[in-house]
Amino acid sequence: MTQRVTDYHFRQPFLTNLNATNSKMSELSRQISSGQRIGSPDDDPFGTSQVLGFDSKIAETQQYQKNISDASGMLSTEEGAIDNVQSAMKRIRNLVVQAGNSPNQSGYSDIATEILQLKESIRQSANTRFGDTYVFSGTANVSPYPAPANVYAGTTNVMARSVAPGVTVNLTVGGPTIFGPSPTNVLDLCDQIVADLGANNTAAMGGNLASLDANLANISNQRGTIGITNARLESISQQLSQTEESLSAARSKIGDTDAAKAYTDLQTQNTMYQAALAAGSKIMKTSLLDFL
């Protein structure tokens, strides 16, 4: 009876240690396969709290990057539309100069026809959309210059987007900011030029040229502002990328598995486990012989 009790008290710690080693091996295998050092909050409550904090900041940074991507896409769309408007207006200017210098008024009809075509091209650019959003209608999601009128149908407010902590940029632009206020906007000016051509009013061409130049200067300035905003977004995006990399690195140090160390520890534990099994088998055989 004494021998049996002694064997039990000898074997029980051995089995307990063997199970503990097996548990360590299982945990190390989990860390290696998942790449995560922390399997549950109980493993490291403070570390878990830190990881969750980093995850929240990383998600916030990624949302800002998405906002920047959307904003940059919209601003680039605006730049493209304004480029088209500038090209059309420069062509109109050349036609006005041609009309003013031409003694042959019979050609005014063809010039007027082309200007009306260019006007509709400008209208189409003014009604440009990015996705489902009209970029020149302020905060109103409506066509800002519906044909056939030249009256602005949008709002003077602008749509804004948060692109970094405490940083907001304007996305949409009110039509009058680009094309001028009614009833003297770019579309109205096209109609006025056509009317002057129809009336053979070549004397008015000088004033029309001045108006065209003023509008072209304003549009160029507005395009420059949009370009500056886009460049600013690119700079902010680079800063956010660096921030995300730093946050991810800090999170990795806390939450990710040190693969090299985990592999080494697993090999060590496995060696100990195999040695314990070998020793245990001898103990079990000896105990059985003593019992018999």
pLDDT at 47 over 70: yes
53-250 CATH fold: f41 fragment of flagellin, N-terminal domain (1.20.1330)
- Where do the domains of the chain lie? 53-250, 259-292
Q: Which residue matches tokens 């940083």?
A: 167
- pTM (two decimals): 0.76
- 224-244: burial string, b at 16+ Cβ within 10 Å, e else: eebeebbeebeebbeebeebb
pLDDT at 16 over 60: yes
Q: Show the tokens assigned to 109.
A: 């009809």
What separation, in Å, do the N-terminal and C-terminal C-alpha atoms of the chain show? Answer: 13
pLDDT at 92 over 70: yes
Instruction: Quick: pLDDT tens for 187-217.
Output: 999 999 999 999 988 889 999 999 999 999 9
Beta carbons of 1 and 284 less than 8 angstroms apart:
no
Instruction: Quick: pLDDT tens for 93-123.
Output: 999 999 988 767 778 999 999 999 999 999 9
Q: What is the pLDDT of residue 290?
A: 47
